[in-house]
Amino acid sequence: MKKLICDRCGMVLMDKGNVSMAFEGKKAWGEALRAQGNEPRGVFPCMNFIRCGGEIKLTSNGGIFWWRH
């Protein structure tokens, strides 16, 4: 099972539909960031992006990771 976790706030996406939607929007998200001069860190913006500024990343073996400034 694929599991996506925000690299800033730790929000988890495990629902198959949500995970699929995130991967479908991956290309558009990357292009939008590159147009602004940034490089994407993850697959899609976090649902809490305005507050946390995080991006959703695929985790290996369901592990949780935290990355903060």
pLDDT of residue 62: 52
Tokens of 34: 């590159």
Decide: helix, strand or coil at residue 62: coil
pLDDT of residue 46: 92
Q: In the prediction, which pLDDT does 2 show?
A: 80
pLDDT per residue, tens digit, the chain (69 aa), is: 788 999 999 999 888 999 999 999 999 999 999 999 999 999 999 999 999 999 999 886 554 444 444
Q: Output the pTM of the full model.
A: 0.75
Q: What SS3 class is residue 58? A: strand
Q: Where are the domains positioned within the chain?
A: 4-58
